[in-house]
Each structure stands twice: as C-alpha cells, then as structure tokens.
Amino acid sequence: MERYERAAVLLSLVEKLRDGDSWCGETHVQKGTYFLQDLLGVPLEYDFILYKHGPFSFDLRDEISWMRAKDLLKLQPQPWPYGPKLIPGDNAELLMETYLKPIERYTDRVQKIADEFADMGVTALERYATAYYVSKNHEEVGDGDIAVKIVELKPHISLGEAQEAVEFVAKLRRVLSES
C-alpha cells in the first residue's frame, strides 16, 4: 500500500473509533492499527515491537507525525488527567475523498476493530494487545504460561490482569474467525 492510501485507511480508523465514542489518543490508534494489521491482515506494513504500553510501531508514530504536518491529523489536548486525542485535520476530508478505494476495501475490517476496541481505555488496550503479541511472538511459551510471560515482560501488569487478557484474546480470535 502506498503512503497516501495507508494514511486514508488510518483516517478511516480514527473516524470509526470516534464514531464509537473512543477517546482516540495515540495509544488507541497504535493498538487499533496493530490488531487491524496483525489480526485482520490489512497490509499496512508497519513494524510492531513490544515497547512501552505494549506493541508499538515507530514507523506508525512517524507516519502520525507526517500526517500532523500534512494537516491530515491534529492533536487535541484534554484537561487533566487525560492525554491528548487525535482528530481529523483540515486536509482529512480531501484525502478521504481522493483515496476512497482503499477505504472501501478495508472498511469492514476497520469497523470490526472499532466495534471491539472503541470503548476501551488505554490500560485495557495495552494488556490485550500485549497478550496477543506474546501469544503470537513467543511460540516457546505454552498456552498456560502466556500470562506469566506477560508479567515477566511487563511487571506493572498483575498476573490476574494478564490471565484475563489472555482469555479475552482467545475469545476475540474465535469471534473474528467466525465472522
């Protein structure tokens, strides 16, 4: 996918998250894009690694910077204690009108991600995305030990939270594979 097409798909994700009353900060966009790409196979071609707050793409962060510079996205600060939101910029509509085809091609998958994650807070997104990442990237870890591995990699997540995240991800995979 070329850069402007990718930007159009990202903008459609931002819009659908916002339609679902998502806070839509950078964490929401990072994790939503991660699931969209790695779980639902939309070929956005970002490299994700396990970093702060779970799976994170430096390429995507640079893409967001570029989109802000191009007035495709805007950062909207929020009063304490909330982090800033990402909202469509002045050029967003023009881009989405110009690149309708990629948006239409992936609209169902973008909608599924928005349906699943729009109403989640950042800590839940961090846990679930981390659980999915560990289950996918640490094949040496048996199913029963994924939660332990999550705690080892992210000590600020409790074992109970990690176990709940592993169960959520297993259910999510079932639901999305059936739909």
Applying CB under 8 A, the residues found at the interface with other proteins are 2, 4, 26-27, 47, 49-53, 58, 61-62, 65-66, 68-71, 74-84, 90-91, 94-95, 97-99, 121-123, 126, 153-156
CB of 81 to other proteins, least distance (A): 4
**Amino acid occupying residue 81:** P
CB of 177 to other proteins, least distance (A): 27
Considering the complex, state which of residue 9 and residue 112 has its C-beta at the smaller distance from other proteins. 9
Considering the complex, state which of residue 92 and residue 112 has its C-beta at the smaller distance from other proteins. 92
CB 102 within 8 A of CB 8: yes
CB of 78 to other proteins, least distance (A): 6
CB of 89 to other proteins, least distance (A): 9
